[in-house]
A and B are shown apart, each in its own frame.
Chain A
Amino acid sequence: MSKAAASALIIEDERQIRRFIRAALEAAGYRVLETDTGKQGLSETAAHKPELVILDLGLPDMDGIEVVRRLREWTSLPIVVLSARMDERDKVTALDLGADDYLTKPFSTGELLARLRVALRHRAVVGDEDSESIFRVGDLCVDRVHRHVTVGDKEIHLTPIEYRLLAVLVKNAGKVLTHQVLLKEVWGPGYAERAHYLHIYMGHLRHKLEKEPARPRYLLTETGVGYRLAVE
């Protein structure tokens, strides 16, 4: 809310849903544009250049995933996807195509606003990455300059891969990262099919950082989709 009057475009065919999202966003200080079809959404985005897009995957005229693809052809503005489908594959596809985050219907407006905040912040820091060299959440503290990880007062020793995994998550803190993205970032493009590496290293990381690894406080699982580092 430091950035006054960020504009958001809602692409959603259900009027009732648009209405409460608009209410919530306006209450949070956003300027809100709305549209009910994918095609209009695409042209509105081009015409009004909103700072972020909230996109429903189930649109009447075209697949939401297609909208993500088209948008990503020319813009890197944050896209938060709304999905009523149970199939995780749609969400993963949207995320892998470049959507920034997702929400499964029904969702609380608090959640929505939190996601939007994270998405906007990441866009903002793309330019000057060094601004936040130390990441803190709860007792966890990651010093990215010195590669130093502490939980409370305790210093945690991480292996290089574990550190890299954590570093990728920190860089995208608050944002969901799909298995694919994490595998590519940490291990490289050749490892896309080896999701079990990720599960195993995430397990290691949790055992080192979490008080109760089975009930993580920081390293959250988005089942079937990926992982998210908590920011609050």
Chain B
Amino acid sequence: MTDQRPNPDELLDRVQREQAKARRGKLKVFFGASAGVGKTYAMLSAARQYRAQGHDVVVGIAETHGRAETMALLDGLETLPLKAIEYRGRTLREFDLDGALKRRPALILVDELAHSNVQGTRHAKRWQDVEELLASGIDVWTTLNVQHLESLNDVIGSITGIRVAERLPDKVFDQSDEVVLVDITPDELLQRLHEGKVYIPEQAREAIQNFFRKGNLIALRELSLRRTADRVDDQMRLYRKERSIEGVWQTREALLVCVGPEAGAEKVIRGAGRLAAQMEAPWHAVYVETPELQRLPATERDRILQALRLAHEMGAQTATLAGQDAAQVLVDYARQRNLTKFVVGRAYQGRRPWRRSFADRIGRLSSDMDVIQVVRDVPDERSAKPAQRLDWSYQELPRFAPRRYGWAALACVLTALVATPALQYFDLANIVMLFLLTVVLVAMKLGRGPAVLAAFLSVALFDYFFVPPRFTFAVSDAQYLLTFLVMLAVALIIGHLTSDLRFQARVGNRREERLRSLYEMARDLSGVLLPEQIVDISRKYIEGSFGVRAALLLTDERDKLQPPEFAGLSVDLGVAQWAFDHSQPAGFGTGTLPGNPLFYLPLRAPMRMRGVLAIEPSDARWLLIPEQRRQLDGFAALIATALERVHYIEVAQDSLVKIESERLRNSVLSILSHDLRTPLTVLVGTADSLSRSRPPLGEAQLELATTLREEAYRMNALVDNLLHMARLQAGEVKLDRRWQPLEEVIGSAIKAREQLLSNHHVTVSLPPELPALEFDSVLIERVFCNLLENAARYTPPGSTIEIGAHIEGTEAHIAVTDNGPGLAPGSEDAVFEKFTRGERESTSLGVGLGLSICRAIVQAHKGRIWAENVTSGGARFTFTLPVGTPPTLADLPEENDLERGATEE
């Protein structure tokens, strides 16, 4: 505990946060208690000041509501034109996100963060526009009223009696970089309202007047002040943490909120969200789907999904789990993730008093965890509103099927018919058994409803036809009442059990089906070699499994999505590209461009995005069902991986072809070079023989012979270079690196080019402290040869060529400098360009090749090479070699021993 250092995870967290922030733009929120406090005014005044300091400020959208003072502030600020959007015959104006991204100011003002966009824009909410702006590195200033905060929505709703539809996830507010509270007293606000300085739409005048009561305003002001204070407090804590002021690091608390099917779950979630925010703890929202819950009508399941979605928007991590006992599953989940507190909605008193409440059950299972009960809301109109009822693949058996009831009745009647003749031979008690058997069979085959019918019918038939007095429903013996009861009970129990079993089997079947289709798709995809096959297979499986239409969009080389070959879907490439670029789902049922009829799911493979899956779902609910979504994600992952695999197959084949052609070229080159050697040898030898021939040749002939010989040598040098290049390119050259003095190769290079350098002064000045370097002597000798040859050829006779070297950091710089005319300006890099067919032919061929070989060799030694002109005139070619630690002679035997050995010799 005395350790004052922040723990590494915290540090890493901080670094990552800072890095993410460095890339993102900064968000500043002008925060107020209600409309009319002057947020827009404050924002615009601040923006003017900021602009006056020379910053690039653009107004994206500012709601001035025609107020003169505010309008005046816009004067002189660059304002982005709004985008006109046709919606139901009307033209509406919205903030132009693309225009803003294109304009890319340093700072953009976007008023009213909680605003909902008109349908047909890219995002449903303005805060999503702002997110995109921030993500692209643009700073944003915006305004927000406290009542729009999601977590405070119900609190404020209950204070003011007005629910606002435009709500902002708290995380957007919490993650903003700066919050400026714009505050005026309620009296002052009322005064302004009175003076008509607050904009109120005509049609809502009355409701709004109600809203602007002093009590409301005080409450709102308190909430906004408190929310801001919480933020300041958080910042303080963060600051302390970053400065490592706190001595003890608290263990991280985390909340788990249980989402159930009961009404009011949203209130529980908001409560948990607030708690988590206060505790500054991460939180999870979990829904456990028990078989019981799976049988809930679609409306209720929808509500649960909506609740989970709300939790997700508020920043919770959400999960849908499956299990028999919800409490047990939740406790296990909490243990695995080290969550310390449960938040559950409080159960209504008096309902099923014999049952332990859910909170109690959790408490019993986890004595070491806190259970916090939150008040549940009475169902409000919104959550009670029936969601669209739509059929989906996970359909239960029809609730009422007259046919099955008919069969049940028929079975009972048949039993009665069979039993009638048997009455002579058997006891009534055994006759009952026949009916019981029928009921059990009906329950097993036809389900619970028909079983109940069968039970009642059997009782009736038994009573009427068999129990004395026969042919009346009167019962003489009271003991038959027990028989009736048992028969009913058995029918109900069996019916219940079998329908449960059936349901389980159906769930199991579905699951197996899902797994099988995943498995089969994986199997089919594993053998695929072409992207087109993947397109076909994916469509087959997705359409087969979900009964929806789908298309796969693939990218070209420049990561642009291509329209699908399958023309059945009206794919919007713009939306698809957005989903691809942002690696987020878009379109129908998502927050981005929900107006599009298709759902676009980006295909993320391990290395990168591989394409987009476009699906035409029958309805939005389809996407919300967790099983469905999971399977779709599974498909998407499989497709992405397959696409990536196919991509790499293509890459591998390409490179194989490249390698093959390279190899062919090189072998041709090397045979060519080899075959050129022989005639060259003959040429040199013959010229030599000529000059040595007896009687001696005349002066002129001798000179011719010498020229012949020299040109043959020169040609040989060219062939050497060609061969070297061929080998270097083929990657065939294994460097034979050894520790050796540089001096040695310089010496042998000068000697090899003696003839060529006979008219030049070559000086070598190496510092005595130059250490041995590790290099391939043959190749580095070639570098020197080529540099010397180059210098000799491009300087007039009598020029000086100087070879020098020095150490700079971890590199040895080796320079060959001449005092010739130097390089043509601008050609310093071009001289190393590799000679390529069709280019740079003519005179520079030999030299270009020589220097590009130098570069290849130096680069193979992890060095660099460059050319420059020296101020005193002439060109300098410098290359570097890494300096390492040469082996020492420490392990060498004592010289004395050797001396003794030597004297004995």
Residues on A lying within 8 angstroms of B by beta carbon are 14, 16-17, 20-21, 23-24, 27, 84-86, 88, 105-110, 159-161, 163-164, 194-197, 199-200, 202-203, 206, 212-216, 220-224
Contacts and interface: CB of A to CB of B under 8 A. Distances in A.
B763 to A, nearest CB: 9
Given A106-B685, A196-B772, A163 B744 contact: no
B777 A215 contact: no
B747 A215 contact: yes
Contact of B777 (A27, A107, A194, A224): A224
Contact of A199 (B686, B744, B803): B744
Which one of B684, B685, B739 has the highest number of Cβ atoms from chain A below 10 Å of its Cβ?
B685
19 contacts: A16-B679, A17-B682, A24-B692, A27-B692, A84-B677, A86-B720, A86-B723, A106-B680, A108-B684, A109-B692, A110-B688, A160-B899, A196-B740, A199-B740, A199-B772, A202-B744, A203-B741, A215-B762, A221-B744
Contacts of B694: 27
A214 B683 contact: no
Contact of B678 (A14, A86, A164): A14
Interface in B720-741: 720, 723-724, 727, 736, 738-741
Interface in B738-758: 738-741, 743-748, 750-751
Contacts of A223: 744-745, 748, 777-778, 781
Which one of B674, B739, B740, B751 has the highest number of Cβ atoms from chain A below 10 Å of its Cβ?
B740
B750 A163 contact: no
Nearest to A14: B678
B685 to A, nearest CB: 4
A160 B887 CA distance: 21
Given A164-B898, A212-B764, A196 B682 contact: no
B892 interface: yes
Contacts of A215: 747, 750-751, 762, 764
A24 B677 contact: no
A106 B713 contact: yes
Contact of A106 (B716, B738, B747, B898): B716
A105 B678 contact: yes
A206 to B, nearest CB: 7
B844 interface: no
A41 to B, nearest CB: 18
B859 interface: no
A197 B740 CA distance: 9
A107 B892 contact: no
B739 A21 contact: no
A159 B893 CA distance: 13
A197 B889 contact: yes
Contacts of A21: 685
A27 B689 CA distance: 9
Nearest to A85: B674
B745 A221 contact: yes
Given A106-B683, A214-B803, A222-B748, 9 more contacts: A17-B681, A20-B682, A20-B688, A105-B678, A107-B681, A110-B688, A220-B748, A223-B744, A224-B781
B902 interface: yes
A78 B264 CA distance: 105
B766 interface: yes
Contact of B681 (A84, A110, A164, A212): A84
Contacts of B892: 197
Interface in B768-799: 772, 777-778, 781
A214 B682 CA distance: 33
Which one of B713, B724, B744 has the highest number of Cβ atoms from chain A below 10 Å of its Cβ?
B744
B902 A86 contact: no
A195 to B, nearest CB: 6
Contact of B743 (A194, A214, A224): A214
B743 A213 contact: yes
A20 B895 CA distance: 50
A96 to B, nearest CB: 15
B743 A203 contact: yes
B709 interface: yes
A202 B743 CA distance: 11
Given A224-B777, A224-B778, A20 B743 contact: no
Nearest to B895: A160
Contact of B689 (A24, A107, A199, A221): A24
Contacts of B679: 16
B379 interface: no
B804 to A, nearest CB: 11
Contacts of A200: 741, 772, 889
B865 interface: no
A106 B677 contact: yes
Given A106-B716, A200-B889, A221 B778 contact: no
Given A106-B683, A106-B716, A109-B685, A164 B902 contact: yes
B692 to A, nearest CB: 6
A213 B743 CA distance: 7
B537 to A, nearest CB: 52
B744 A106 contact: no
B902 A106 contact: no
Nearest to B745: A223
A214 B764 contact: yes
B120 interface: no
Contacts of A105: 677-678, 680-681
Interface string B863-901: 000000000000000000000001101001001001100
Contacts of A109: 685, 688-689, 692
B152 interface: no
A199 B745 CA distance: 11
B291 to A, nearest CB: 75
Pick the 10 closest A-B CB pairs, nearest first.
A214-B764, A20-B685, A106-B684, A106-B681, A160-B899, A109-B688, A224-B778, A16-B682, A105-B681, A199-B740
Contacts of B889: 197, 200
Nearest to A224: B778
A221 to B, nearest CB: 4
Given A159-B895, A196-B886, A224 B736 contact: yes
B750 A24 contact: no
Contacts of A164: 898, 902
B677 A160 contact: no
B712 interface: yes
A224 B735 CA distance: 12
Contacts of A20: 682, 685-686, 688-689
Interface string B653-692: 0000000000000000000001001111111111011001
A229 B694 CA distance: 31
B387 to A, nearest CB: 79
A199 B742 CA distance: 10
Nearest to B715: A106
Which one of A20, A161, A212 has the highest number of Cβ atoms from chain B below 10 Å of its Cβ?
A20
A196 B778 CA distance: 15
A225 B686 CA distance: 27
Contacts of A84: 674, 677-678, 681
A107 B713 CA distance: 9
B682 A199 contact: no
A125 to B, nearest CB: 18
B383 to A, nearest CB: 83
Contacts of B762: 215
Which one of B678, B686, B899 has the highest number of Cβ atoms from chain A below 10 Å of its Cβ?
B678
Nearest to B766: A214
A206 B53 CA distance: 71
A20 B716 CA distance: 18
A215 B685 CA distance: 27
A160 B693 CA distance: 48
Contacts of B887: 194, 196
A215 B750 CA distance: 7
Nearest to A203: B741
B678 A16 contact: yes
A203 B751 contact: no
Contacts of A106: 677, 680-681, 683-685, 712-713, 716
Which one of A14, A21, A161, A215 has the highest number of Cβ atoms from chain B below 10 Å of its Cβ?
A215
